[in-house]
Structure 1
Amino acid sequence: MNLGRVLLDTPLTEARVWGAALACAIAARNATVIRVFAAEAAARLAPPAVEQAKAAASIMAMNNVHYRATHLLGGARRPARLRMRAITTPALAAAGVTKADFELWCLAVSAIAGCEVCLHNHDQGVRRAGLTAQDVHEALRIAAVVHAAAVTRDAVEALG
């Protein structure tokens, strides 16, 4: 019921919904959930947009670890020196994805990872791109429900 509500009854564009859902499924790490959301995203998004959603999950898997750890250690921030070419405007434009879409997907993945630094940075990014607090709320709802589906599926698979 919750999946239907957050994925179908939302003011977000279809690209924002399904890109976030796919990126969050990857971040949540359950193979069954990833396959289901990848198939649904592929039916709703152009192939280059699907690849950008995967890239958002990949980049945030790296960044969430680095920035969360740096933050928790209270250390001085140094440049991460990690490559993130998928975020470049030409790469996004070639995929038909807006900067706002990509930032929102990254924000949703960061919610699953619990990276405060990345959440703040991507919240600022989506706001600069013209998205609203409601848009952020919707992306966080997607993250929460997709993550819950993955956790539940993990339990079902583990318990047989």
Structure 2
Amino acid sequence: MSLKEFSDALPDYAKDIRLNLGSLLGDQTLGDQRKYGLLLSCAHGSGYKPIVDAAEAECVPHLSEEAANAARAAAAVMAMNNVYYRFVHLSSNKEYGQMPAKLRMNVIGSPGIEKVDFELFSLAVSAMNGCGLCIDSHEKVLRQHNIGTDIIQSAARVGAVIKAAATVHATAV
């Protein structure tokens, strides 16, 4: 099943989600690696197997194996980091922010693709997971690499639409 077919299976009350997913699939402003990498990382970040399967079918033909693995890795490491760093951020005890995380996250330093694309994937998954500390960290790196706010907003938009599509599909099907 493609993402288009997945989208078509959404109920009528989620027409806006269908339209937004269609817009994302047709978007040509990000380039293939960023667009399909974002779709794949956000699908994996949703944790919803049917959208993961649809994204894999849709995206892998458009991505190198390195880019597909980096998208999957961004979702995996953000699943861990977003929980931990959201805890650090939300805890009233600021001592946790001064302590080493003691979590392996080597993929961030060596993702197998351009760091800026990996950071974009990580930002989108962090937005889905609601980790403000991670969002700020990834956005700062992206801005240091001269990535415009329009690209960063597009990444957040992908996360929002994929999360909504997964949520609606999981409860409607």
Q: TM-score, normalised by structure 2?
A: 0.84
Give the distance between the partners of 2:75 and 2:47, measured in 1 at CA: 11
Unaligned stretches of 5+ residues in structure 1: none
Deviates more, 1:2-11 or 1:24-33: 2-11
Instruction: Please give the residue correspondences for 1:106-117 in structure 2 after superposition, counting only pairs within 5 Å.
Output: 106-117=122-133
Decide which structure has the larger Cα Rg and report it.
2
The equivalent residue for 2:165 is 149
Deviation at 1:10, TM superposition (A): 4.3
Give the distance between the partners of 2:83 and 2:109, measured in 1 at CA: 21
Runs of 4+ in 1 over 3 A off after TM superposition: none
Give the distance between the partners of 1:127 and 1:148, measured in 2 at CA: 27
Give the distance between the partners of 2:25 and 2:155, measured in 1 at CA: 10
The equivalent residue for 2:100 is 79
The equivalent residue for 1:31 is 49
The equivalent residue for 2:30 is 12
Aligned length: 152
Give the distance between the partners of 1:54 and 1:123, measured in 2 at CA: 19
Q: TM-score, normalised by structure 1?
A: 0.90
CA RMSD of aligned residues (A): 1.2
Residues 84-122 of structure 1 deviation map (CA, whole Å, 9 limit, x = unaligned): 121224x42xxxx21110000000000110000000000
Residue 137 of structure 1: which of 138, 153, 161 is its match?
153
Give the distance between the partners of 1:149 and 1:69, measured in 2 at CA: 27
